């Protein structure tokens, strides 16, 4: 899918430099960054859900440990 993206000039210059040093395109860099971001966000959501579940499941134990 095609997409137009307007970047601030400073970020565009940084991406140009990184792309040149890696021998790749800015487009490839942005795809890699977007993929990494999506995977990180997904992991964050799973971790937060697990923490909520553990907090609920062990609420009494956590409370007793706070008082210890």
pLDDT averaged over every residue in the chain = 89
Of 53, 51, 3, the closest CA to residue 27 belongs to: 3
* pLDDT computed for residue 20 by the predictor: 97
pLDDT of 3-27, one tens digit each?
899 999 999 999 999 999 999 999 9
- Write the Ramachandran bin of 23: left for phi over 0, alpha for psi from -120 to 50, otherwise beta: left
Supply the pTM of this predicted model: 0.60
pLDDT at residue 68 tops 80: no
């Amino acid at each position: 899918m095609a997409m137009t993206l307007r970047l601030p000039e400073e970020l565009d210059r940084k991406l140009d430099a990184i792309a040149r040093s890696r021998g790749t395109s800015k487009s490839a860099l942005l795809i890699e960054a977007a993929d990494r971001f999506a995977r990180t966000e997904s992991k964050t959501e799973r971790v937060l859900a697990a923490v909520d579940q553990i907090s609920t499941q062990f609420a009494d134990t956590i409370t007793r440990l706070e008082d210890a």
